[in-house]
Amino acid sequence: MANFHKNTDYQDRGKKLNTEVILKTIKSGKVNIISHPFLTKSFNIDIKRMSEEACKNNVLLELNLYYLSKSKNNPDIIPNIKIMVDVVKQYKKKFIIGSDAHNIWELADDSSLKAIKKQIGLTDNLIINNYPQELFKLLKIS
């Protein structure tokens, strides 16, 4: 699992270079999930290119419930997720849902996703969490 995070040695390098870094990471074969890729406020990237490359390389894109619940504070989240959904559908791939729970009560709270599923065009068949054997195979878990 990988993505940009604050308080690390990596500093924001702008959309073009950030995109190249995430594409190189996806192509490396060392990660199988890109975490919360729709968060472009701190580290801007080309969402469409990143989504396409992830799909081509069988790397899952995470829909992070914690950050979805904060989407009112970031107007880019919903449009970015819509782009991701369109690409994932085009490539016939799936998303992974992550809680990023910051306390025990958030573990099973998917209300933020349910509230926008129709708006973003997400259906249950696009969520790999609903297909554990497929997820285990992708993660190479026997």
Asked if 105 and 137 touch (Cβ cutoff 8 Å), the reply is no
Position 103 scores a pLDDT of 83
The tens digit of pLDDT for each residue in 62-99 reads 999 988 887 777 889 999 999 999 999 999 999 999 98
Which residues are bridge partners to 97 per DSSP? 63
Q: Is the pLDDT of residue 32 over 90?
A: yes
Average pLDDT over residues 108-127: 93
Residues in CB range of 16: below 8 A, 6 or more apart: none
CB burial of residue 88 (10 Å; 0-12, 13-18, 19+):
buried
At residue 2, the 3 state secondary structure works out as strand
Can you tell me the distance from the alpha carbon of 15 to that of 68, in angstroms, rounded to the nearest whole number?
22
How high is the mean pLDDT of the chain? 91
Domains of the chain: 14-138 (3.20.20.140)
Q: Is the pTM of this model over 0.75?
A: yes
